[in-house]
């Protein structure tokens, strides 16, 4: 064969009418289509966009129009392929020349065009299958939701029918009760009439016998019968009165029972109405969710058009799908195994936590009881010593054994108040108690103390307590409850407020607008037990808002007092007529020495 003669090519490469069929392919719509797993397409679609589960209401016209649009695309492609198939096959028997080369090039271009069209047809067909499955799934979801709506509607109708039936049953029951009462009344009337007729018949027969016999002989008998008749009439009247009373009592009982039944029926009717309203609200909520999901479905349906650009990327990743799937499954199994291990470990740790928590609860209760017992003992010891109590707050532990109690600066204020709670509670036993607070806000102490006193008041006791509250701003001489000027003629004569609701009193205390001034809080306790009674006071002098020098001067007045001002008179009452407590912070050596001196001073009220 001559070297210039071109070699023959396979028939399927030359003629566009002969299609090459690769192995393991399937035919559809008259052309060849590659077999692509549908599960991968579904997964990729789910990753790219989440389609709403609620169906979009559609008609047969919409579905037919969508299907017709895709069928028109396929028919246009098929008609193109048929036109190509009608062309006569090309022959390669002629010698090679330039024109034959051009025809070969043209056939290659047609072959490429045909392959591209086949590729597009396959893409259209896959998309049609996927959208058909989605359409069927959405129809099923729509039918499910429609069935749920029908079920809810039927339940509403059933509830309405039951309410109507209950109403008819109540009316029938009331009518039956009324008929039963009428029947009983008629029976009582008939019995009385029969008794009367019997007595009348007996009396008539006796009168006839008297007429027939000798009147002179039966005069005594007639008198006896008249007396018997009068007695019988009285008995009849008594019996009728008793019957009337029984009748009225029976009628009252029936009325009460009827009213109770009507109330129960009304309650059941109200409950049924509430259930019906709840069901209607649920129906409205379901309808709103349905509308929102419907709008989301419309948005997702518009986004489906954008999936055309992603189909090419899906085909490129299909070759690696199996490996990616295996790797994902292995990772998923590892994650599941780790999750099972963590769940088992969590169960073990939860059991351990429950055990530890039970132990912690029991220990916490024991510690709380121990603290209460310790505070009671410490308070008893301090009362026995008869010294002025000093609770100091310091930075270090070097002053721990120098005062009645010593706390760190980071100690919570509630814990400090709890430490002297048993001391404060002695006010309900008729003892005057006073506190001078340089460190803690007075409102905090008063609010916590009020809660403790009201808790004691609510406990069963033979004593009856009444608590009253007063508050005075010293330098401005203002009654904080009324806002008026205070007359300094006598102590504790300002406006009093009864303590019933601690939240209301606490709101008033927290609303005091006082800056750089001393506030005196007073709680008066009135105790009554049969013929016994007492009056005691808890006086709290809040000096936490003034400067440190003035604080030390006020505390020093517990030792030396000239009684010139209202505050001096209050401090004199504290030092001589109450058990005082000083809560102060140690800022310097002078403060330490002053507090130490006060702690060594005897309580004046104990000397009497």
60 or 215: whose pLDDT is higher? 215
Nearest C-alpha neighbor of 291 from the set 59, 54, 51: 54
Rounded Cα–Cα distance for residues 405 and 387 (Å):
13
The model's confidence at residue 468, banded by pLDDT at 50, 70 and 90, is: very high
The model's confidence at residue 209, banded by pLDDT at 50, 70 and 90, is: confident
DSSP three-state, residue 485: strand
The model's confidence at residue 35, banded by pLDDT at 50, 70 and 90, is: very low
Q: Is the pLDDT of residue 106 over 70?
A: no
Residue recorded with tokens 């034959």: 100
- Give residues with Cβ within 8 angstroms of 152, minimum separation 6: 279, 282, 283, 286
Residues paired with 27 in a beta bridge: 32
Q: Is the pLDDT of residue 439 over 50?
A: yes
Residue recorded with tokens 């129906």: 283
Going by DSSP bridges, is the β-strand pair 532-542/26-28 parallel, antiparallel, or unpaired?
unpaired
Point out the least confidently predicted range of 2-11, 101-110, 535-544.
2-11
Measured distance between the N- and C-terminal CA atoms of the chain, rounded to whole angstroms: 147
What's the number of CA atoms in the CB half-sphere (13 Å) around residue 128?
A: 18
Rounded Cα–Cα distance for residues 254 and 249 (Å):
9
Q: Is the pLDDT of residue 55 over 60?
A: no
User: Three-state SS string across 392-461, please?
Assistant: EEECCHHHCCCCCEEEECCCCHHHHHHHCHHHHHHHHHCCCEEEEECCCCHHHHHHHHHHHHHHHHHCCC
- Give percent of the chain above pLDDT 70: 79
Q: In degrees, to the nearest 5, what angle opens at C-alpha 424 toward C-alphas 433 and 376? A: 125
What pLDDT score was predicted for residue 15?
A: 46
336-370 pLDDT tens trace = 899 999 898 988 888 888 888 888 888 878 787 77
Contact present, 276 and 156 (Cβ < 8 Å): yes
Point out the least confidently predicted range of 33-42, 82-91, 171-180.
33-42
Rounded Cα–Cα distance for residues 574 and 568 (Å):
10
Contact present, 294 and 57 (Cβ < 8 Å): yes
The model's confidence at residue 436, banded by pLDDT at 50, 70 and 90, is: very high
Contact present, 469 and 505 (Cβ < 8 Å): yes
Rounded Cα–Cα distance for residues 428 and 534 (Å):
9
The model's confidence at residue 489, banded by pLDDT at 50, 70 and 90, is: low
DSSP string, 259-289: HHHHHHHHHHHHHHHHHHHHHHHHHHHHHHH
Residue recorded with tokens 């049924």: 272
Report which secondary-structure segment, H or E, holds 14: helix 11-14
Contact present, 111 and 19 (Cβ < 8 Å): no
Query: Whole-structure pTM over 0.75, yes or no?
Result: no
């Amino acid at each position: 064969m001559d070297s210039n003669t071109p070699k023959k090519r396979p028939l399927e490469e030359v003629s566009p009418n002969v299609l090459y069929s690769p192995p393991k392919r399937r035919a559809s719509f008259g052309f060849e289509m590659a077999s692509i797993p549908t599960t991968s397409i579904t997964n990729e679609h789910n990753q790219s966009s989440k389609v709403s589960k609620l169906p979009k209401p559609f008609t047969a016209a919409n579905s037919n129009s969508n299907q017709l649009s895709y069928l028109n695309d396929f028919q246009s492609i098929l008609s193109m392929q048929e036109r190509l198939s009608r062309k006569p096959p090309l022959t390669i028997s002629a010698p090679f020349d330039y024109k034959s080369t051009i025809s070969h090039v043209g056939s290659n271009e047609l072959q490429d065009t045909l392959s591209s069209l086949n590729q597009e047809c396959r893409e259209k067909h896959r998309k049609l299958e996927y959208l058909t499955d989605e359409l069927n799934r959405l129809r099923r979801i729509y039918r499910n939701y429609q069935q749920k709506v029908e079920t809810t509607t039927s339940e509403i109708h059933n509830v309405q029918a039951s309410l109507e039936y209950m109403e008819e049953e109540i009316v029938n029951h009331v009518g039956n009760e009324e008929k039963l009462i009428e029947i009983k009344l008629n029976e009582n009337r008939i019995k009385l009439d029969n008794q009367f007729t019997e007595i009348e018949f007996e009396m008539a027969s006796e009168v006839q016998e008297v007429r027939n016999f000798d009147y002179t002989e039966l005069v005594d008998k007639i008198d006896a019968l008249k007396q018997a008749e009068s007695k019988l009439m009285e008995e009849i009247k008594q019996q009728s009165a008793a019957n009337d009373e029984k009748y009225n009592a029976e009628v009252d009982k029936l009325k009460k029972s009827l009213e109770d039944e009507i109330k129960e029926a009304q309650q059941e009717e109200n409950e049924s109405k509430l259930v019906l309203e709840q069901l209607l609200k649920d129906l409205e909520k379901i309808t709103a969710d349905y509308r929102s999901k419907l709008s989301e479905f419309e948005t997702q349906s518009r986004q489906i058009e954008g999936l055309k650009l992603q189909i090419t990327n899906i085909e490129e990743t299909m070759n690696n799908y199996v490996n990616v799937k295996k790797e994902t499954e292995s990772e998923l199994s590892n994650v599941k195994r780790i999750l099972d291990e963590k769940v088992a470990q969590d169960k073990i740790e939860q059991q351990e936590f429950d055990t530890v928590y039970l132990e912690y609860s029991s220990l916490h209760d024991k510690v709380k009881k121990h603290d209460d017992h310790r505070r009671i003992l410490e308070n008893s010891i301090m009362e026995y010593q008869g010294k002025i109590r000093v609770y100091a707050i310091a930075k270090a532990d070097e002053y721990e054994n120098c005062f009645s109690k010593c706390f760190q600066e980071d100690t919570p204020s509630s814990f400090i108040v709890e430490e002297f709670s048993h001391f404060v509670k002695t006010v309900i036993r008729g003892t005057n108690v006073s506190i001078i607070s340089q460190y803690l806000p007075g409102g905090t102490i008063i609010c916590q103390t009020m809660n403790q006193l009201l808790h004691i008041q609510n406990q069963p006791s033979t004593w009856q307590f009444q608590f009253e509250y007063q508050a005075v701003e010293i330098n401005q001489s203002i009654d904080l409850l009324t806002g008026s000027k205070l007359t300094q003629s006598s102590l504790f004569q300002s406006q009093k407020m009864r303590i019933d609701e601690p939240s209301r009193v606490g709101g008033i205390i927290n609303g005091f607008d006082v800056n750089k001034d001393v506030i005196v809080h007073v709680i008066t306790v009135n105790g009554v037990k049969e013929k016994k009674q007492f009056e005691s006071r808890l006086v709290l002098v809040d000096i936490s808002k003034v400067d440190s020098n003035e604080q030390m001067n006020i505390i020093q007045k517990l030792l030396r007092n000239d009684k010139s001002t209202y505050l001096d008179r209050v401090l004199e009452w504290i030092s001589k007529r109450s058990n005082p407590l000083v809560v102060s912070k140690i800022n310097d050596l002078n403060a330490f020495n002053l507090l130490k001196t006060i702690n060594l001073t005897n309580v004046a009220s104990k000397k009497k």
